[in-house]
Amino acid sequence: MRILLLGGGGREHALAWKLNQSVWTNPLYIAPGNPGTASCGKNVSLDINDFEAVGKFCYLESINMIVVGPEEPLVNGLYDFFKSKEELKDIYFIGPSQQGAQLEGSKAFAKAFMQRHSIPTAGYKEFTIENYAEGAHYLQQHDVPIVIKADGLAAGKGVAICQNHVEAIAEFEMLLQHSKFGEASKKVVVEEFLEGIEFSVFVLTDGKNYVLLPEAKDYKRIGVGDQGMNTGGMGAVSPVPFLTPGLMKKVEERVIKPTISGLQKENIEYTGFIYFGLINVKGEPFVIEYNCRMGDPEAEVVLPRLENDLVGLFVAATQKELDMVEIRLDARAAATVVAVSNGYPTGYKTGYPIKGIDQFFGKQTLIFQAGTREEDGKVLTNGGRVLAVTSYGENIKEAVQSSLEVLGQIHYEGIYFREDIGHEFIQRSSVS
Ligand code: AMP
Ligand code: GLY
């Protein structure tokens, strides 16, 4: 099968690594990819938001399957573009339709969808410039903290948790009056604050059936102890020890099944991943967000734990036959620790040589490249998040330890990573 994977980060390196293991894959192209994905297939230089260019490549290269890593092309309608073209419509497409991608692309759409299908989520109201005064009044009456979200895609920066009313009004004004995120903040969602522990659950769905993938917990803050600014993700672990069978059953019955049947009832085309960002509030799961793709760095722990052939799963999804599939998991834990550039997530420099990544670190460790590029045969830093180092272990502690040991042997100027990934699941010997 001739496969094109879109994207170029750590998630796509993990996807490429997994796709490349399939007996079905021949060849695998990755656009634009990175030096890491080049070891799994052939990188091609394409702008993944240029639909005509992506379509032309697929036509000329007789691509049979396209797998979309990031959300942006999906939210912008790449699926619909392919389905509208005679020469592209039969290509197996892994990723939802534009409407399905609105689960991630519009917070207001996602909230209304959840309300229509009685899926547990924080109470909310939406506002635009038209009912600004009503919104400001609503905020004044609201309990604190107040969660304020830009409706559209805002590169992970669209959520503000305001500790008091002054902060909340200021944020509301920035979003609606001063277009903080342009089009993405023309609409704003104001939400109740939920207190609990977050975790993520992933499914692959064919729009009718779904298979459950391993769950994960990611670490969003830049600093040790979950302090400091939000990032794209500094690490992740799988499994999530507090996700008991009882809690998982609630997640399936109250969240996953109503979501899939909701999509079906509303005739929303959806073949691809759904990422459920959840929060455990005193044993009850609530949805914080949907994403229409795999997480990054969650993919770097989820895919290594998946034993099934990924192309086989994707084919079953396109045939609406996921009910025939049984998921097999590696029983070991997996942890990924993300190495970033000094200064991330605000300002950082790139172009530093990365030393030590070519060594073999043993079968328990995988090095996924994220923000890297190659120049004169050398791999250089090329982004905020540079590498995701994933290890297997008998438990989370062992997996994290292995990744930290490997990171100790990798160097580039300004390397930074959190040493406490998985901290809440790691027993520390108490010193008396
Ligand atoms: P999102 O971009 O929707 O993933 O939100 C970013 C982060 O904001 C989440 O991972 C949560 O930590 C936090 N968050 C979002 N909505 C809520 C909420 N209703 N209550 C508490 N925290 C929230
Ligand atoms: N790690 C969070 C995300 O992929 O959205």
pLDDT in tens, 289-321: 999 999 999 999 999 999 999 999 999 999 999
Taking the centre of ligand 1 as the mean of its atom positions, its distance from the CA of residue 345, in whole angstroms, is 18
In a domain, 107, yes or no: no
Measure the N-to-C terminal CA separation of the chain; round to a whole number of Å. Answer: 60
E strand map for 104-259: 124-128, 146-150, 159-162, 187-192, 197-205, 210-212, 217-218, 221-223, 227-230, 235-238
CA-nearest residue, atom 14 of ligand 1 = 288
Indicate if 242 and 265 belong to the same structural domain: yes
Indicate if 149 and 182 belong to the same structural domain: yes
Indicate if 216 and 255 belong to the same structural domain: yes
Indicate if 45 and 81 belong to the same structural domain: yes
In a domain, 92, yes or no: no
In a domain, 16, yes or no: yes
Taking the centre of ligand 1 as the mean of its atom positions, its distance from the CA of residue 75, in whole angstroms, is 20
pLDDT tens, position by position, 12-40? 999 999 999 999 999 999 999 999 999 99
pLDDT band at 430 (very low <50, low <70, confident <90, very high): very low
The residue-averaged pLDDT of 375-387 equals 97
Indicate if 29 and 174 belong to the same structural domain: no
Choose the final residue of a domain: 37, 59, 85. Answer: 85
Q: What is the number of structural domains in the chain?
A: 3
In a mutational test of the pocket of ligand 2, which residue from 71, 215, 219, 298 has the highest number of ligand atoms less than 8 Å from its CB?
298
Indicate if 213 and 184 belong to the same structural domain: no
Tell whether the model's pLDDT for residue 253 goes beyond 90.
Answer: yes
CA-nearest residue, atom 3 of ligand 2 = 295
Taking the centre of ligand 1 as the mean of its atom positions, its distance from the CA of residue 289, in whole angstroms, is 7
Choose the final residue of a domain: 192, 214, 234. Answer: 192
- Spatial distance between the Cα atoms of 392 and 5, rounded to a whole number of angstroms: 25
Indicate if 405 and 368 belong to the same structural domain: yes
Tell whether the model's pLDDT for residue 432 goes beyond 50.
Answer: no
Indicate if 208 and 286 belong to the same structural domain: yes
Give ∠ CA 193-195-198 in degrees, rounded to 5. Answer: 110
Taking the centre of ligand 2 as the mean of its atom positions, its distance from the CA of residue 376, in whole angstroms, is 32
Mean of per-residue pLDDT scores for the chain: 95
Q: Please give the residue range of the domain that contains residue 182.
A: 123-192
Choose the final residue of a domain: 140, 170, 192. Answer: 192
pLDDT band at 164 (very low <50, low <70, confident <90, very high): very high
Q: Which two tokens stand for residue 153?
A: 């895609």
Assign residue 291 the CATH number of its domain.
3.30.470.20
